Amino acid sequence: MKILITGATGLIGKELGRELVGRGHRVLALVRDPKGVASHLPFPAESFSWREALSETPSKAFLEALAGVDAIVHLAGEPIADGRWTTARKRALRESRVDLTQALVGVARAHMPKLKVFVQGSALGIYGERGDEELDAGSEVGSGFLPNLVRDWEEPSLELARNSPRDAESVGEPNNEPSNEPGAVRVVALRTGIVLARQGGALAKMLPVFRRGLGARLGLSGRQWMSWIHLADIVGLICWALETPSVKGVIEGASPNPVRNAEFTKVLCKTLGVMQAPPVPALALRALFGEMADVLLESTKLLPRRAQELGYRFRFPSFDLAMQDLVSPLRGRIYEKLEEQWVPVPVEKIWPYFCDEKNLESLTPPMLRFEVLGKSTPEIQTGTLIDYRLSLNGLPFGWRTRIEDWVPNRKFVDSQIKGPYSLWHHTHEFLPLAGGTLMRDRVFYRLPMGILGDLAASWKVVRDVDAIFQFRRKVIHEKFGAPAEKT
Tens of pLDDT, residues 288-330 = 778 878 788 899 999 999 999 999 999 999 999 999 999 999 9
Tens of pLDDT, residues 248-267 = 999 999 999 999 999 999 99
Contact call for residues 398 and 385 (beta carbons, < 8 A): no
CA distance 127 to 268: 26
CATH number of 2-329: 3.40.50.720
Percent of the chain past pLDDT 70, that is, above it, reads 94
DSSP SS3 for 275: coil
Closest to 250 measured CA to CA, from 181, 134, 147, 157 = 157
Query: b/e map of 442-457 (b: 16 or more CB within 10 Å)?
Result: bbbbbbeeeeebbeee
Rounded to the nearest integer, the mean pLDDT of the chain is 90
CA distance 203 to 317: 17
Tens of pLDDT, residues 82-100 = 778 899 989 999 998 999 9
Please report which helix (H) or strand (E) contains residue 72, including its range. strand 71-74
- Burial of 396 per CB tally in 10 Å (0-12, 13-18, 19+): exposed
Indicate the domain borders of the chain.
2-329, 335-479
Across the beta sheet with 335-343, the strand order is 335-343, 436-446, 423-433, 411-418, 395-407, 385-392, 371-375
Task: Please state whether 371 falls in left (phi above 0), alpha (psi between -120 and 50) or beta.
Answer: beta
- Burial of 311 per CB tally in 10 Å (0-12, 13-18, 19+): exposed
CATH number of 335-479: 3.30.530.20
The residues with which 385 forms a beta bridge, in sequence order, are 402
Stretch 350-379: mean pLDDT, rounded? 94
Residue 475 has pLDDT above 90, yes or no: yes
What DSSP character marks residue 98? I
Contact call for residues 450 and 431 (beta carbons, < 8 A): no
Residue 32 has pLDDT above 60, yes or no: yes
- Burial of 18 per CB tally in 10 Å (0-12, 13-18, 19+): buried
Residue 179 has pLDDT above 80, yes or no: no
pTM of the complete model: 0.92
Alpha-helical regions (H) of 5-118: 11-22, 50-54, 60-67, 87-94, 100-111
Task: Please state, as a whole number, how many other Cβ atoms lie within 10 Å of the Cβ of residue 125.
Answer: 26
* Range from 13-22, 179-188, 336-345 carrying the lowest mean pLDDT: 179-188
Residue 482 has pLDDT above 80, yes or no: no
Structure confidence at residue 173 (pLDDT): 42
Q: How far apart are the first and last CA of the chain?
A: 23
Tens of pLDDT, residues 7-25 = 999 999 999 999 999 999 9
- For residues 90 and 487, the model is more confident at 90
The residues with which 230 forms a beta bridge, in sequence order, are 196
DSSP SS3 for 297: helix
Tens of pLDDT, residues 433-458 = 999 999 999 999 999 988 888 887 78
Residue 486 has pLDDT above 80, yes or no: no
Furthest-apart CA atoms within the chain: distance in Å: 72
CA distance 319 to 257: 7
* Range from 56-60, 106-110, 196-200 carrying the lowest mean pLDDT: 56-60
The residues with which 193 forms a beta bridge, in sequence order, are none
* Residues recorded for the chain: 487
CA 170, 172, 176, 181 torsion: positive or negative? positive
Q: Phi and psi for 450 in degrees, rounded to 5?
A: 60, -140
- Burial of 118 per CB tally in 10 Å (0-12, 13-18, 19+): buried
Structure confidence at residue 167 (pLDDT): 44
Tens of pLDDT, residues 122-169 = 999 999 999 999 999 999 999 999 999 999 999 998 877 754 444 444
What DSSP character marks residue 39? G
Structure confidence at residue 485 (pLDDT): 44
CA distance 280 to 218: 5
- pLDDT bin (cut points 50, 70, 90) of residue 54 is confident
CA distance 135 to 252: 9
CA distance 388 to 360: 10
Structure confidence at residue 83 (pLDDT): 78
